[in-house]
Amino acid sequence: MCVLARAIPLVGWLLFAGIVQAAPIIDQQLTPTGNFPAFAVANDRTQIQTFTVGITGAITAIEVQVSREPLTVENLVLSLWSTDSAGLPQARLATESVAPTDPAFTSTGPRPLIHLDLTAGAVEVTAGELLAIELNSNAANNPPFNERYLWEIGGQYDRGTAYTQIGSFFFRQNEDFHFRTFVTSVPEPGTLVLLSTGLGGLLAYGWRRRRPV
């Protein structure tokens, strides 16, 4: 019994190692500081940013650096897409939306990072896979331009490309939109083996200690 009590910290450590592997972490991002322009997200145009997955696992969230105009009433819709051989959106994998009344939009200072939770979608991804973030909205884009969303753009992300889609046409941008992706990584096989071996060994030892001689 005493031996098992001393082994409890080891069991806790093994379990902690497995949990750490499952915690969401930032995978890809482009979030430079400074003053940057922004492109409209509205009912007449969609903005797209492709990115290359760096960690095998499940995408749990995406953040985009977006602001809204004072009279915006329509939701902002984010969709995650697979891409075709040309690097353009092919099949929708997940969708999430945020209302213009979300408290994040009321922050002052730099354009906020808007968090969109994709946990329910559980999109499994593989390192090296090219995916696309698409932002769209039914918001009007007419003068005086006070109902739309604005996605910040500027700087270079070397593992993807930014596009503006108007109708069926895609216009490639020279710089990239600001975003972050979060991935829950798949535990390494070695971690799972360590956990299983450790627990199995403790159980076997306890059984042998309790067995009558």
The verdict on residue 157 lying in a domain is yes
The verdict on residue 123 lying in a domain is yes
- Torsion (CA) 58, 97, 131, 153 in degrees, nearest 10: -120
The domain that holds 55 is classified in CATH as: 2.60.120
The verdict on residue 194 lying in a domain is no
Give the count of domains, the chain.
1
| pLDDT tens readout for residues 5-36 | 554 555 444 444 454 457 899 999 999 999 99
Which has the closest alpha carbon to 27: 64, 62, 77? 62
Mean pLDDT score across all residues of the chain? 86
C-alpha 156 chain-centroid distance: 19
The verdict on residue 4 lying in a domain is no
Q: Is the pLDDT of residue 196 over 90?
A: no
The verdict on residue 212 lying in a domain is no
Find the range with the poorest average confidence among 55-69, 97-111, 151-165, 171-185: 97-111
The verdict on residue 12 lying in a domain is no
Greatest Cα pair distance, the chain, in angstroms, is: 89
The verdict on residue 208 lying in a domain is no
| pLDDT tens readout for residues 53-76 | 999 999 999 999 999 999 999 999
Q: What are the Cα distances from residue 74, in Å, to 122, 139, 168, 177?
A: 26, 5, 22, 21
Find the range with the poorest average confidence among 101-110, 117-126, 175-184, 186-195: 186-195
Which residue range is the domain that position 60 belongs to? 24-186
The verdict on residue 78 lying in a domain is yes
